Structure formats: structure tokens, C-alpha cells
Copies of this chain bind each other. A is one copy, B any other.
Amino acid sequence: MMERGHNPQAARDHNRALILRLIRDAGPTSRAELARLSRLSKPVVTDIVDGLIRFKLVKETTKGETVLGRKPILLDINREALWVMGIDLSRNHVDLLITDLLGEPQRKMSRRVSFEDEDAGYPERVVKYVTDIIRDSGVDPARIAGIGIGYPLPLSHAQRMIVSEGQVVGWKTVRLKELIQKEFDVPVYLDNDANVAALYEKWYGQASEFKDFLFVLVGNGVGCGIVIGGNIYRGTHGIAGEIGHMSIDPNGPRCLCGSRGCLETLVSVPRLLSLVLEEDVKAGREGGVPTLEQVCERAARGDAAVVDKIREMSEYLAIAITNLVNTFNPEAVVVGGAMARLGESLRTPLLGALASRAHPLFADKTKVVLSNYSEEAVARGAAMLVIESFFQNPQRYVPELANGVRSRASSES
């Protein structure tokens, strides 16, 4: 990105977006308070707020009690000004949400369809589901600001529906993002599920107090959302955070990537289930592959085979987290994904394993917390891709903001 000088137009755009974010974060709030927080003059703030009210992104409200006199007029985001769609494309289902401008879900839909259902016209199905939920919700399609999609694959693959490791090979030519963008004529954001779940944790979950944190998603595989300075760090080609292929044991099992002893070969929900199954078979216990729910229950009541396997995985996961902490020195690591449903049964052995691996320099510095697993994390995080973009650059979504008639006061900015 080429550096450029600050000219008045860029300064106005910056200031407008800043005021909008301050209203979101501090609101309901007064014009005077916004001037104090932004260090902009009151006339400049008033001018910006006038524009935001004119285009219905901000509304005036009153709050609190006053014994005498008028209640103060405060400003708040008009959260129903625009709608946002968040989609979780997972291996075997598609979950869709419509949220308001602050990310609160208003309508939900879930459909079972698998990546392997190539013949079922997967991409066209996704388009149909988007159409369906818009129709069912009754919202005006013209007021959909954008669509965010979370996808359990590296971003560069997801962009083109090219899939690594042999899954969904037939999709090589489908460009899902372009397909949806063309169909609905709104900005479409596609990102890795670990990245969008990290956004969920930042806005609604365990990471709201952290600017720099890592979100480690353990589900069918292992991924990592890296948040630096409040923003997702994606790396040079958009594929940062592929920690599933961190080497944990150089002499470990062969991985599909070609290396050995990668984290994903040692830690994942399917591996946990199959290790428990092995123990069950050894013990003559019947019932086939247990579900994660069953494993959670057995762990909670101290079933030895399950506890043992969770401890084993905790050791491997602790090595990975320690490596990440030593490298990134983040404020916190949030461990999420379906594995987090184990709750306390995972937390205790994991924190124990971490304590024994931690470098003294880092030992007390980084908080490691378990996510309160939410089924909606990926879809809501995906909606945040759109919402964060909106609050960075509202004039992209409401171009009239930038073209609005300038009042007298704005000439001083």
C-alpha cells in the first residue's frame, strides 16, 4: 500500500468513521463527549453527526433520569439501518444468519448439506439458501450491506473452492465469492473459520478485553486466528495461522501434508473420538464411535479412558500453544472450536500441561482461556467481517455520506 499525504477529503472520511465507531463503543453518548473522545472540535463533530443522522445511521435518543429540565439528547447507532448476513459453510451443514448493524442475529437458518455432495450442486444450493433466508426474513434486499462467509479451509482455497488434501476436488472451477457477489450485488467477504471465530470471540466471547490474542480452533482439524492490534493478521497470501501443520513430534505419524507428527495428526475431535473408541473396543465395551456429547459426559464423570486421552491431547496442544506464545507474545490465547465443549475436562489438564512447558519469561504473562463454545460463532464472526468493514469505511456502504451537502461548520475541518 502506497503511503499518501493526509488531504482534507481523507481526513473527513477518517473522522466520520471514527465518530461512528465512538458512538458504537461509547453510546448512547453526547456530541460533547464525542468531541472530547475524538479530540475534534464541537462544530466538526456536529457536522459529522448531522450527516450520520440524515442518512439514518445514527439516531437521537434520551437516556437516564433528570429531575428537572430537559433530558440530554444522546446519540446511538440505528442498528436496523442496514442488515448483514453471516454464513458458516461447514463440512456438513450451512448455517445462515441475518444480523443487525451491531451483529445481533435477527433470523437464523440451518441446512444439512455436505462438501461431499458435489452432485447436489453445492454452490447453487448456497445461493438458494441466501435467497430463502432473505425472503423468509422479509428484509428489503436493498438494505443488505454485505455477506460474510466462514469456511473451514485456508482462505486461498476457499476463495476458489479449491480444496486441499483430497476433499471436494470437483470444485476446482467454482468461484463461490464471485458467484454470490454477482447474484446479490453486495460486498462478499470470505475467510477461514478460525479467523471469523476469532472475531466472534473479540466481539461477543472471551477476548473482548484483548487487542492481541490468538484463537486456537480445535475441531475436525486445528487452525488459528491471529488478532494483532484488534485486526486479523492474515499473512502475505492470506493463509497465516495454519498451525494444524505445526510439527509436534518429528517422528510422529505421517500427515496428509507430507510431513510427520503435525498437530492435526495428534489433536482433533475425530481423533479423540477414535482413540476413545479404541479404548472401548479393548475394554470390550460396545456401541461404536462415541459422539462428542457422549465423550463430554463421560469426561465429566471421570471415565478413565476418556480422561486419559484428553490428557494426552492436552500435552500436544500445550506444546503448540507454548510455541505460539513464545513466538507471538500475545495478551491471551483463547482455545475454541468443538473441542472446547469439553469445558473443565479439557481446561484442567491443558493448563497443567501448559504450566510445565512455559518459559519463565512468559509464564505469568499470557492468559489462556477456554471459549464458551457457541454453535453460532462462525456465522456471527462472518457477519463481523462485513460489520467491521462498515465501521472502518461507512461511506463505502452509504456513498451519499461522502457526497452530502457540507454545512457551514465542516469548512474548518
Contacts and interface: CB of A to CB of B under 8 A. Distances in A.
A235 B242 CA distance: 19
B246 A327 contact: yes
Q: Quick one: which of A154, A245, A360 has the most chain B CB within 10 A?
A: A245
Given A5-B18, A319-B247, A228 B239 contact: no
A259 to B, nearest CB: 5
Nearest to A40: B5
Q: Quick one: which of A5, A15, A37, A357 has the most chain B CB within 10 A?
A: A5
A250 B329 contact: no
- What copy number does this chain have within its complex? 2
A362 interface: yes
A267 to B, nearest CB: 13
B235 A212 contact: yes
B322 A324 contact: no
Contacts of A235: 212, 328-330
Interface stretch (A6-14, A62-70, A93-101): A6-14
Nearest to A246: B323
Q: Quick one: which of A328, A360, A366 has the most chain B CB within 10 A?
A: A328
A359 interface: yes
Q: Which size class do A's interface residues fall under? A: 35 or more
B360 A257 contact: yes
Interface string A323-354: 11011111100000000000000000000000
A38 interface: yes
A234 B329 contact: yes
Contacts of A91: none
Interface in A53-78: none
A403 interface: no
Q: Quick one: which of A6, A19, A319 has the most chain B CB within 10 A?
A: A6
Nearest to A234: B329
Interface in A358-378: 358-362, 365-366
A248 B357 CA distance: 12
A39 B242 contact: no
B242 A365 contact: no
B7 A39 contact: yes
Nearest to A366: B236
A131 to B, nearest CB: 33
A239 B238 CA distance: 25
A73 to B, nearest CB: 21
Interface string A1-45: 011111100110011001101100000000000000111100010
B330 A361 contact: no
Contacts of A357: 247, 258-259
Contacts of A154: 361
A122 interface: no
Nearest to A242: B326
Nearest to A4: B39
Contacts of A327: 224, 226, 240-243, 246, 324, 327
Interface in A74-114: none
A328 B14 CA distance: 29
Contact of A5 (B38, B258, B323, B329): B38
Nearest to A21: B3
Interface string A274-288: 000000000000000
Contact of A239 (B2, B4, B329, B356): B329
Contacts of A212: 235-236
Contacts of A365: 236-237, 239
Given A240-B327, A241-B327, A247-B357, 4 more contacts: A212-B236, A242-B326, A258-B359, A259-B358
Instruction: List the 4 closest pairs (A to B, CB-CB), nearest first.
Output: A235-B329, A5-B40, A240-B329, A6-B11
12 contacts: A3-B21, A5-B15, A5-B39, A6-B10, A154-B361, A212-B236, A234-B329, A236-B365, A238-B329, A247-B319, A248-B250, A259-B322
